[in-house]
Structure 1
Amino acid sequence: MDRFFVEKKNINLENNTCIIEGEDVKHISKVLRCKIGEELEICDNDNNEYICEITSIDKDNVILDILESVDIKRESDLKVKLYQGLPKGPKMEMILQKLTEIGVDEIILVQTKRSVVNVSDKKEDKKIERWERIIYEAAKQSKRGKIPKLRGILSFKEALEDMKENDLNIAPYENERTKSIKQAVKGVDINNIGIFVGPEGGFEDIEIKSIEEIKGQVVSLGPRILRTETASVVASSIVLYELSDIGGNE
């Protein structure tokens, strides 16, 4: 069943109705070619979801009746924030898609010393808009209970300040050979965790020292060197496995 996110204000639980607006209207009517009477999954981006039946379709909106609420825990209690040193475009798209699928809560774009890409952080920037759309589509496909936030572009210094709010921060680094993620998180009471992954060229030594100065844990992802797009997904998956719901730990 196809899934769509709507704002809470568009869900009326008193009348058991829901309204879909914006680009999704065209997707429902022109791409999926949905008809009146067909059912869709609707989520309010706050872990509440409903099975709804289409009652009206026009060029501006789709109106649905709410048939039932769905009681499934889609989101982890652990909040994972992935700080991503800016890679090149195609790699960024894959990172955003896969991190959304596995359950990362927030993705923060960071300009590091070895980042070769410069992107404006203005909302109208086409790359940002495209990346947000990729996250949205991945959230629908993977049946997330919320759409992960995309934030940035932060400077390295701004990222370090932001990381101070987390219960724990880790940074995979190719020159670290002994400390694993499992060792870093063991015995620590964690509600939210930051993971900082460098761009294609990795971190510079001075950046690693700065992460350690704010008590970030530098960790190894194993004996093989991973590309940045692989490291982001692998590190997040290990964290969610060790502390949360990947692998059925909850």
Structure 2
Amino acid sequence: MQRYFVDKQEQSQFILENDDRHHIVKVMRMNPGDEIICVNPDGRSAICKIAEITDEAVVADIVKWNDETVELPVRVTIACGLPKGDKLEWIIQKGTEMGAYSFIPFAAKRSVVKLDEKKSGKKTERWQKIAKEAAEQSHRNQVPGVSAPIDFHTLLKESKNYDFKVVAYEEESRSGETANFVQTLNQLQTGDSLFIVFGPEGGLSEKEARLLEDHDFKLCGLGPRILRAETAPLYALAAISYQLELMR
């Protein structure tokens, strides 16, 4: 059953407009009587039946509210040093499927891609759309937020409001460090927030790593192998899901 995140709700109905209406009518070829799932801004989902299709909107009657819990029990923010090409799109899409709460791209010293304020608006809009589509496909109840790219010092300020903070640092993997990430996962409780920083293709510089450490981040190795920039965030999310969802 197709899922849609809908901002407009009137009593016992959802009103789906713009891209959602187009997808229902032109892509899925749905008709009145067909059922969909609608999710409101509070993260509540409901089975709905299409009641009316107009030139401007699709009106869907609420049949039954769902009580399912599909979100990770902790809020995980993935901060990525800007990678090349479409790697960030891949991280956002797959990271959304795996339960990330939000994404923060940032300009690292070794990022080949540089901040461009003129283009950041359109890029952020595209990234947010990718997150929405991935959240619908994976039947989540929340769409992760995707921020516009920020600089490194803003990243440090942004990290102040989190319960736990870790950095995937390849030099720690090379030295055999394996305990810090595991210790952090063992401390996490339902409702906690976790901020994880990943470098770009060239990794974080030693200066960046030390600055993060000075701001209460734990430097972590993610096993004995060196992971690509687009692989490491997914590895971390998979480990979190295993620890907090499958093992409990």
Same fold (TM over 0.5): yes
The TM-score, its normalising length taken from structure 2, stands at 0.92
Provide the C-alpha distance between the structure 2 equivalents of 1:150 and 1:102, rounded to a whole number of angstroms.
Answer: 15
Provide the C-alpha distance between the structure 2 equivalents of 1:59 and 1:120, rounded to a whole number of angstroms.
Answer: 38
Q: Is the 8 A contact 1:110 1:156 kept in 2?
A: yes
The TM-score, its normalising length taken from structure 1, stands at 0.91
Counting only pairs closer than 5 Å after superposition, residues 39-78 of structure 1 correspond to structure 2 as 39-78=35-74
CA offsets 1:109-135 (integer angstroms, 9 cap, x no match)? 111111111344568733222211111
Q: Is the 8 A contact 2:74 2:192 kept in 1?
A: yes
Q: Is the 8 A contact 2:124 2:147 kept in 1?
A: no
Amino acid at match of 2:9: I
Provide the C-alpha distance between the structure 1 equivalents of 2:160 and 2:62, rounded to a whole number of angstroms.
Answer: 42
Query: Which stretch shows the higher mean deviation, 110-119 or 166-175?
Result: 110-119
Map of 2:81 onto structure 1 = 85
- Judging by fraction of residues, say which structure has more helix: 2
Provide the C-alpha distance between the structure 2 equivalents of 1:128 and 1:184, rounded to a whole number of angstroms.
Answer: 30
CA offsets 1:175-212 (integer angstroms, 9 cap, x no match)? 10213311234346671010000011100000000011
Match for residue 109 of structure 1 among 105, 127, 143:
105
Instruction: Report whether the alignment pairs 1:186 with 2:186.
Output: yes
SS for the counterpart of 1:73 is coil
Distance apart, 1:55 and its partner CA: 1.2
Map of 1:148 onto structure 2 = 144
> Do the aligned partners of residues 187 and 124 (structure 1) sit closer, same or farther apart at CA in structure 2, a change above 3 Å counting?
closer
Provide the C-alpha distance between the structure 2 equivalents of 1:124 and 1:92, rounded to a whole number of angstroms.
Answer: 13
Map of 1:222 onto structure 2 = 223
> Do the aligned partners of residues 123 and 12 (structure 1) sit closer, same or farther apart at CA in structure 2, a change above 3 Å counting?
farther
Map of 2:241 onto structure 1 = 240
Match for residue 94 of structure 1 among 90, 96, 109:
90
Query: Which stretch shows the higher mean deviation, 32-41 or 128-137?
Result: 128-137
Map of 1:165 onto structure 2 = 161
Distance apart, 1:227 and its partner CA: 0.2
> Do the aligned partners of residues 157 and 55 (structure 1) sit closer, same or farther apart at CA in structure 2, a change above 3 Å counting?
same
Provide the C-alpha distance between the structure 1 equivalents of 2:3 and 2:119, rounded to a whole number of angstroms.
Answer: 25
Distance apart, 1:38 and its partner CA: 0.4
Q: Which runs of 5+ in 2 are unaligned?
A: none
Provide the C-alpha distance between the structure 2 equivalents of 1:215 and 1:164, rounded to a whole number of angstroms.
Answer: 9
Aligned residues: 243
> Do the aligned partners of residues 185 and 51 (structure 1) sit closer, same or farther apart at CA in structure 2, a change above 3 Å counting?
closer
Q: Is the 8 A contact 1:81 1:107 kept in 2?
A: yes
Distance apart, 1:230 and its partner CA: 0.3
Query: What fraction of aligned residue pairs are identical, expressed as a percent?
Result: 36
Distance apart, 1:71 and its partner CA: 1.0
Map of 1:24 onto structure 2 = 20
